[in-house]
Structure 1
């Protein structure tokens, strides 16, 4: 299948999990090199198999462009996504909700941690991380909220911007606490799609920039073909996870699972 056929192919109606992230490259445009965002969408189908749903390109990463990407997925047949895993880009959950209003959006906890540490003085980072771990590694959401209160009591005066960010995004950061361990591991970060980006970087590391968008997309597509050859097995404990999804998202998988 050629790249243009692949990018327009019909998709399944339902994906239990979809990860969305972007990677940036330099591309020549009107005689100068500009930064372009490659939007990567990785899905997990009802068989527990990974599938790269699409690659898109734009001048910069933004919620408005993600909205057009999600619209394209919908037009290609994706009627429902149970959980979307994304980074902390402002407006991203709202963009998803406008196309898929029933989808639960989990913000990547690792992205949130990285962004938080940018605002913490280097001399405090080790201690701050030690106090932050009980928040995202808690067994329950209630335990996590108690740990967040303790984090604020200790560090809130020095780093109010960090605490405010966690509080503001908490609903989407804490979504994974309602699931068992097998599902939590899959959704609390965007590591699955970042692994695809690592494969892209291996392909492109010898190229500082690209002469046009098409040459970049075709090379990445070649990388996709190589990566998907290794995706032969479903994720661990998928049957158990799927049964839990069927209970949690009552009615939304019935027609697909013959329930």
Structure 2
């Protein structure tokens, strides 16, 4: 595997091959990321992974400074997984001048759920992903479904800007006890790690209870009850909700009657750690 740190070296490495599959990451890799690499390899074109902790998507009181940076270990994992090229720029290379041009995503997607809890987050995500797309110009890009709202936003961005990129979503990789794998799981204390699967259990309970709902008012009540139960277990939930998969809007009575595909989504803090998860239903 070749590792490059500058855009010039990246483009030189990309030039011999017309098609690439991109796997963007912020590093501190785990089995979920390696699953993205494995899925990328199925496209039978070279795979480029990026590692960059993007300041633009972190709020002023979030964990940018303490986010784990483990580049040597990550590079070894990527090489073993069959990645062909690693692009690992520093901040000065990625943003050689202040990034005053930004991608402003649709507030109907970016202003709800995680976007409401983390103002400006999805603007930072859309901007850095657009830059990576322009730098790499991949034919395909692979993202995990754990960041469900992010995946929908990127799909819409690619559609509306007519980018010639196929976006591939990969199912969430989980630990044996159901916890969605995340780089932030490393922040959990042993006691919190034992509690962490409660978030997935709450989503499963909400999805199951919602099967018999026939009105949006019933869904809202189930959501409030689920939030209360999670709060009683020691969590601080931002949201625990059922939404349409297509646009992350609340299902209407007609949606419930027709069985419109939905997804249960949650974000909650356990101690100092904020975890997200979802379950398609």
Question: What is the TM-score normalised by the length of structure 1?
Answer: 0.33
- Higher RCO, Cα 8 Å, sep 6+: 1
Name the one with the larger helix percent: 1
